[in-house]
Amino acid sequence: MGKKGGCGFVGWLMVLVILALLGVGIFLVVRHKMNKSDDDGDSIPGPPGAIQKKYSDALNVAVQFFDVQKAGKLNEDKITWRGDSALEDGSTVKLDLSKGMYDAGDHMKFGFPMAFTATVLSWSILEYGDQMEAVNQLGTAQDSLKWITDFLIHAHPSDNVLYVQVGDPVSDHKCWDRPEDMTEKRPVFQVNASSPGSDVAAEAAAALASASLVFKKKDSDYSSTLLKHAKQLFSFADKYRGSYCDSIPGSATYYNSTGYGDELLWAASWLYHATGDRSYLQYVTGSNGNDFADFGNPSWFSWDNKLPGIQVLMVAMVLLARLTFLGEKDTSNSGLQQYRETAEAVMCGLIPDSPTATSSRTDGGLVWVSDWNALQQPVAAAFLASVYSDYLLTSGKRQFSCSGSTFKSSDLKKFARSQADYVLGDNPMKLSYLVGYGDKYPQFVHHRGASIPADASTGCSDGWKWLSSTDPNPNVAMGALVGGPFKNDSYVDDRNNTMQTEPSTYNSAAMVGLLSGLVTTSSVVQSFN
């Protein structure tokens, strides 16, 4: 991840100029509202068009996993086998930390991946909210996002304190029980000035800053609250530098941050989008960018590596002229250009016919990075490819070069579709890795609540029989995106096969973003207004 510290964008020109002269401190893009094809066959961004039923159906399924993972007081029985849980979380420190989401198949609340889930879900809504609304999923996505941001607000009781974990992983993993029946202790862990956590605090800042844009028109007071906390958390993360896994060593086994530099840049990027305050832009493009951005070295987007996300987000600054009309006369030699070049390198690595394409793919066409949770990187990369493709279309720059070879925005969309289609069943196993979608999907998901009948009476230790049961899960973990296949495209559907069968909220956030970008024709960047 490059240099890291620690243990891990056709409106009328005159309208824009006038707005800039009026000092509008936001990123306003007035787009040509058309929906046709250009000479290259690429769709020009406009209002949502024809719905792609496959992706619409899959999106309807994917958003449900957030309801499966919710902790706290559940006011609606969206998932019939789920109920209230973790109602006392935070009580030992006189805080309400009952909300939030369990990260995966257990009952831990890890703030680092949870905040990343919120940031990616926010970005998905900001880019593709109108497309989500076209298939009646926008409200659901916003509600799920708020479930996390409510938790993050409560977890930040003062400027330099952030509670980043609820539950002890050692004690938690000694149990196989339903979250509604938990009896184990639920300790809470914080980062503060003396025990810093720049990575997790900055990720929380990114989550709250991006969410403030999501809720800006829907609930301006809530949006302001989110932004206030985001600013405070960024200041805390930047002033007291250190990795949270040094302060909370027990978290390293599960979510070991490889550094905090990318999170600081990620948070500052989102704060610039949310505020228009140029000091955040200068933070990203100045010395901190030089220290942490790892320019020229493409990498994989994940809960631990935000660099590809930052690079694509920064492309909006260059391609979409947000800076040109706000006084930035020349960006060709600025740090922004280095972000753009690295973002293009990331994209060039994804397109199969590119001279610099990654050769690490399964025979079925899935980009391959890791045995463990194999779908995380290809789904996240496909989401970025979809966003970047739409940035190119919106800007009118529909082509880019990869070591002398020219590719179009449609090539990126084609790649994004290929990864989504693989996940949805177009793979050698003919298996949908999105639980609840299609006729064939995993039945033995590594998920405690899904594996135990809702009417079972089990405690911490006597529920292990459900882990080893040879019967399919009695409850369907709707929308769960499991870890995925091995490099030979095989998949072993076994609860004990954690690396392949365990789902996670951060995988689901990227999948929701990817599907939202494919469900109909693009109308991107509207929500940054």
Q: What whole-number distance in Å separates Cα of residue 424 and Cα of residue 499?
A: 19
Contact by Cβ (8 Å): 260, 191: no
CA 64 to chain CA centroid, nearest Å: 16
How many C-beta atoms lie closer than 10 Å to residue 428's C-beta? 16
| Confidence at residue 206, expressed as pLDDT on a 0 to 100 scale | 98
- What one-letter code names the amino acid at 291? D
User: Between vectors from CA 518 to CA 54 and to CA 102, what angle results, nearest 5°?
Assistant: 85
First-to-last CA distance in the chain? 31
Name the strand (E) or helix (H) holding 110. Answer: strand 109-110
| Confidence at residue 11, expressed as pLDDT on a 0 to 100 scale | 36
Closest CA to 155 of 56, 221, 85, 229: 229
Contact by Cβ (8 Å): 77, 65: no
At 135-184, the pLDDT tens digits run: 999 999 999 999 999 999 999 999 999 999 999 999 999 999 999 999 99
Ramachandran quadrant class, 447 (left: phi over 0; alpha: psi -120 to 50; beta: rest): beta
Residue 156 to residues 197, 240, 267, 430, Cα–Cα distance (Å): 13, 15, 16, 45
Place of tokens 């494919």: 518
- What one-letter code names the amino acid at 444? F
Top-confidence residue, 117 or 396:
117
> Is residue 527 predicted with pLDDT exceeding 60?
no
State which fold the 13-433+504-528 domain adopts. Answer: Glycosyltransferase (1.50.10)
Task: Specify the 3-state DSSP secondary structure of 50.
Answer: coil
Encoded tokens for 52: 């792609």
Q: Please, which pLDDT band fits residue 207 given cuts at 50, 70 and 90?
A: very high
Q: Please, which pLDDT band fits residue 334 given cuts at 50, 70 and 90?
A: low
Contact by Cβ (8 Å): 501, 483: yes
Query: What are the counts of helices (DSSP H) followed by strands (DSSP E) for the chain?
Result: 21, 5
Q: Please, which pLDDT band fits residue 319 given cuts at 50, 70 and 90?
A: low
**Residues contacting 462, CB < 8 A, separation 6+:** none
Q: What whole-number distance in Å separates Cα of residue 377 and Cα of residue 365?
A: 14
> Is residue 14 predicted with pLDDT exceeding 80?
no
Lowest-pLDDT range of 26-40, 86-100, 312-326: 26-40
Catalytic residue among 156, 229, 446, 447: 446
Residues 392-399 have a mean pLDDT of: 83
| Confidence at residue 46, expressed as pLDDT on a 0 to 100 scale | 60
Name the strand (E) or helix (H) holding 61. Answer: helix 53-62
Q: Please, which pLDDT band fits residue 529 given cuts at 50, 70 and 90?
A: very low
Residue 107 bears catalytic tag: no
**Residues contacting 388, CB < 8 A, separation 6+:** 312, 315, 343, 347, 409, 412
| Confidence at residue 25, expressed as pLDDT on a 0 to 100 scale | 31
At 127-148, the pLDDT tens digits run: 999 999 999 999 999 999 999 9
Encoded tokens for 45: 């961004």
Contact by Cβ (8 Å): 319, 274: no
Q: What whole-number distance in Å separates Cα of residue 53 and Cα of residue 95?
A: 44
At 427-467, the pLDDT tens digits run: 999 999 999 999 999 999 999 999 999 999 888 999 999 99
> Is residue 231 predicted with pLDDT exceeding 60?
yes
Contact by Cβ (8 Å): 92, 188: yes
Boundaries of every domain in the chain = 13-433+504-528
Phi, psi of 519 (to 5 degrees): -65, -25
Contact by Cβ (8 Å): 186, 230: no
pTM recorded for the entire structure: 0.91
Tally of CA atoms within 13 A in the half-sphere of 386 that contains its CB: 30
| Confidence at residue 458, expressed as pLDDT on a 0 to 100 scale | 87
